[in-house]
Structure 1
Amino acid sequence: MFGHRVPPHIVLALSVLFALLCAVPAVRYGLTARWLPALLWGAASVWFAVDAVRAYGWRQKKS
């Protein structure tokens, strides 16, 4: 398991999925004015979105 690189298309797909899954509770908490959980879920969503953009860049360089 260690030492093997995960293919960029897998990282891209999982990062987009996790970004969307984290964005849903962020929006729901934001709509109910619970700002700390909204901020934490939003930060996780942005983290995964940035990771997806990086994975997309790796995928473009590979082709």
Structure 2
Amino acid sequence: MFGRRVPPHIVFALSVLLAALCAVPAVRYGMAENWLPALVWGAASVWFAVDAVRANGWRKRG
């Protein structure tokens, strides 16, 4: 972005944080049996978790 690449450790940390923050409402909506928001928040949480795994791989290679 803007001609500079974000360091992989920053991407990893932010992705883990966002995955955890998205998992909280997913679990709460799931416990309330409100399935559509639970699915949306859960999908976002998985998205960020996969991004964290990818960033961890970049960190180990670099």
Q: Shorter chain as normaliser: what TM range? A: over 0.9
Q: How many residues in Structure 1 have an aligned counterpart in Structure 2?
A: 62
Aligned residue identity for 1:43: A
Which consecutive unaligned segments of at least 5 residues does structure 2 have?
A: none
Percent identity over the alignment is 79
- Tell me, in whole angstroms, the C-alpha distance in 2 between the residues paired with 1:3 and 1:26: 35
- Tell me, in whole angstroms, the C-alpha distance in 2 between the residues paired with 1:7 and 1:59: 8
Aligned residue identity for 2:8: P
CA RMSD of aligned residues (A): 0.7
Cα shift readout 1:2-53 (whole Å, capped 9, x = no counterpart): 1100000000000000000000000000000000000000000000000000
Which consecutive unaligned segments of at least 5 residues does structure 1 have?
A: none
TM-score scaled to structure 1, two decimals? 0.96
TM-score scaled to structure 2, two decimals? 0.98
- Tell me, in whole angstroms, the C-alpha distance in 2 between the residues paired with 1:55 and 1:40: 23
* 1:20-59 equivalent positions in 2, closer than 5 A: 20-59=20-59
